[in-house]
Chains A and B, each alone.
Chain A
Amino acid sequence: MLAGLLLLGGGGPYDILFLPTRAAPEARGTARLHYATSPFGVAVTAEGVARWTVRFTLEGLPPARSIGNAQGYVAWAASSDLREWDRLGTVTNGTATLGHVARNKFMVVVTAEQDTTTTMRRGPTVLSGISPSSWMQPLLTHALFRGIPPG
C-alpha cells in the first residue's frame, strides 16, 4: 500500500479535493477537516472515531436552478459503501463550515437539491471527494505501478 498523498499534488492530510461531475463541470473546491470542538483538543467519539467539522471552499457552482430546477446545494458525508448518508448542511460558492463527521473513511458529496432542507440525498452529484484516510491504495491501481513517478 502506498500513500496517495503524492498523487494529489499537494494538500495536507486534512484536506479533501473535490472532483466535479458532468452536472457541473466547472465546479471546483476543497474541504479542510478540523477537529470538532472538544475540551480535550482532539475530538473523538466514545468509540474512538475522530470527529470533524468540515470547512468548504467552493467556486464555479452554477446557479442551482440550471441543474434540474434545483433550489440549492446540500453537502453530505457518506460512508464509503454509500449506505449511510449524513446531512452536513447547505453550501454555496465561497466558504462555509459545517459539521459533524464521525467516520474513519468517508466521502464528502455536494448535490443539487430541489428541497434544500431534505435529509435524504435525491439530486444529482456536482462535487465529490474522499477523506484523506481513504488515500492508501493497492499497488495495482497506483500510477507508480506503471513505472512512472507521480506528479
Chain B
Amino acid sequence: MRSVLPALALTLTLLPTLATAQDPGAVLVDFDQKRGGTENMTRLAHVENNPGAWKAADIELEQDPGRPFVYVSGFVNYNFFIYDLTNPSAPRELFQWTIEDPDLHRGIGAMDGKYFKTGGRYYYVQSFQFNPGSPDGDLGAVIFDVTGLPNPASVREVARIRYAASPGGFHNIFAYKHSTGRALLFSTIGGDRALIWDLDKIVSGAPEADWLVGNVPNPTPMRQMGASGYHDFYVGFDPATNTDKFYGAGLGGYSTWDVTDPAAPTLLFTITSLGMDLAHTFTPSPDGRYAVTETEYQYTPLRIWDLQDGQAGRTQNIDQPISAWTSDWRTLPHNHEVRWPYVFVSGYEDGLQVFNLKDPHNPESEGGFYTCNCEHGKGFGGSQETGWQGGPSVMQGAFGVDVRNHDGLVVISDMRTGLWTFRMAGFDGWNGRDHGVPNISSVQDWDRGPERSRPIP
C-alpha cells in the first residue's frame, strides 16, 4: 500500500492557498452598523427636506455651471423643493411647491422631476401619481418656468399635463434633446406604452391636442401580474448609427427602440430571460455597447449586459447577462447613473454606492455612503391608510441619484432622510471623451443637441 502521508502533507500545505482562492468576498456589514461611508466618499451636506417618515423620491441636478440648482421630489408629501448648491456643503432652500388641497389627495405623489431648456428659458417638470378617485387622478406632470432662479418669486407654473385615458399619473419621465432639435418628454403611464410629449409645444401654449406626438409600445410586459406598462427608461443618441434610441424597462423585460422618428418608433431588440420580473431600470453605456439593468425585487443584483449583438441586428433578443453587482446580497440596489466606467447607484438601504465597469465582466466596488440609517426590512409598502408601512420591505433609503458632469458633484435623495451631497475622491467631473467613449449620459446638451461625429477640440 502506498503511503498517503506525502499526499496528505501536500494537501495541508496547499490548504491555506485553496482557502484564499475560494474567498467568498468581503464580510457583510451588519444592518445596525450601516453608518458613514468609505474613505474615498466625502459627505458634504445632509438636509431633511420634509417632516415625517417619508421625505423624498427622485432628484435632478441642473448641469450648467452658472445654475447650481437641485430639485428634490417630495414623494408622498405631494411637493417638491429647489435648493441652491452654490455651496454644496450648505444647500440653501429656494423654493417649495405643494399640490393644492394635499390633504384630499391620495397616491404616492411627487415621484420624478427633470429640467430642460428650450427657447432660451429653463423649465422644471415634476411628475405626479395620484390614484383614480383622488383629485388629479389624471394629472401626470406640472411644468414650471425656473429661468429666474435663484429668485424664487420668478418661478411660475406654465402647464399641467393630464392623461385621463390612463389615470394614475407618470411614475417616471425623461426629458430628451432629440437629434432634430426638439425638446421631448418621455413618460410612463399605467398602460402598455410610454408617451412622447413635445415640450416646445407645451410651453409655447399650443393646443393640448398637439402635445402628444408619439408613443413607444411595451413588448415585454409582466404578464403574470397584468403589468403592461414601462417602469422607467433612458433615451440617448447613438453616434455610431446617428439615431436616437429609447432603452425601456418594461416590467417583464427590456427593449431598445429607434425613436429617431418619434411618431414611428422601431423595435431593435429586447432583453428577456428568467428573473426579469419587475424590470425596472435600463441604462446603456455612452456607446450603447453595454447596459446596466435593475429588477425591483429583494436579493436581485444589478445585471450587466453586452448589447453588441442586439445593436448590430444580429439577434432580436439577448438573454444572458455578462456579470452582476450588488453592495449587499440581502438588500436591493435601486436607480443608477452611468458615467462610464463608473456607475453611481442609489442603493436603497445601502445609500450611495459606486462601482466601476473598467472590465464589464468584473464589476468592482469603488465606495459608498450609508444614507438610510434605518431598520432593515421596514421599508415602503402598505397603503396611505397604514402610513405606507406594510409587510417586510427593503424599499427604503436612497431612491434617486444624480451626478453633475462639470465638477463631479454627486447627490442622493433618500426616502427616509432627504437630500445628501457628496464628493468622491478622484472624481472631479465627467466627459466621456476622457474615457474613450462618446460624451453621452443622461445629461442633455440643450443648446447644441446630442453629440454627433464632431471633431474633438
Contact = CB atoms under 8 A, between A and B. Distances in A.
Contact of B129 (A19, A140, A143): A140
A121 B377 CA distance: 42
A24 to B, nearest CB: 10
Nearest to A131: B133
B390 A143 contact: yes
B168 A141 contact: yes
A4 to B, nearest CB: 7
A19 B384 contact: yes
A46 interface: no
A146 B389 CA distance: 12
A133 B380 contact: no
A150 B383 CA distance: 8
Nearest to A82: B135
Nearest to B190: A138
Interface residues of B, number: 42
Nearest to A8: B385
A19 B171 CA distance: 24
A139 interface: yes
Given A145-B278, A148-B390, A148-B392, A140 B229 contact: yes
Contacts of A21: 103
Contact of A134 (B134, B278, B298, B392): B134
Contacts of A7: 382-383, 385-386
B96 to A, nearest CB: 16
A131 to B, nearest CB: 7
B382 A151 contact: yes
Contacts of B113: none
Interface in A70-84: 78, 80-82
B231 interface: yes
A147 interface: yes
Contacts of A35: none
B104 A140 contact: no
Interface in B359-384: 380-384
Interface string A1-36: 000100111000000010101100000000000000
A122 B248 CA distance: 46
Contacts of B104: 78, 82, 107, 109, 125, 128
B42 interface: no
B391 interface: yes
A119 interface: no
B209 interface: no
Interface string B159-196: 00000001111010000000000000000101000000
Max chain B CB contacts within 10 Å: which of A9, A17, A125, A141? A141
B296 A147 contact: yes
Contact of B133 (A130, A146, A149): A130
B132 interface: yes
A150 B167 CA distance: 22
A136 interface: yes
A27 to B, nearest CB: 12
Max chain A CB contacts within 10 Å: which of B133, B137, B391? B133
B258 to A, nearest CB: 26
B297 A147 contact: yes
Given A136-B132, A140-B229, A148 B391 contact: yes
B142 interface: no
A135 B190 contact: no
A151 B391 contact: yes
B404 interface: no
Contacts of B171: 140-141
Given A147-B278, A147-B296, A150-B391, A105 B133 contact: yes
B190 A140 contact: yes
B398 interface: no
Contact of B101 (A82, A135, A146): A82
Nearest to B227: A139
A81 to B, nearest CB: 6
A82 B225 CA distance: 32
A69 interface: no
Max chain A CB contacts within 10 Å: which of B129, B168, B226, B393? B168
A15 B101 CA distance: 23
B225 A139 contact: yes
Interface of B: 101, 103-104, 106-108, 129, 131-137, 166-169, 171, 188, 190, 225-227, 229, 231, 278, 296-298, 380-386, 390-393, 395
16 contacts: A78-B104, A80-B135, A107-B104, A125-B103, A130-B134, A134-B132, A137-B132, A137-B168, A138-B168, A140-B190, A140-B227, A141-B107, A143-B383, A145-B278, A146-B395, A147-B278
Given A138-B168, A139-B227, A143-B380, 7 more contacts: A7-B382, A143-B390, A145-B278, A145-B296, A148-B391, A148-B392, A149-B390
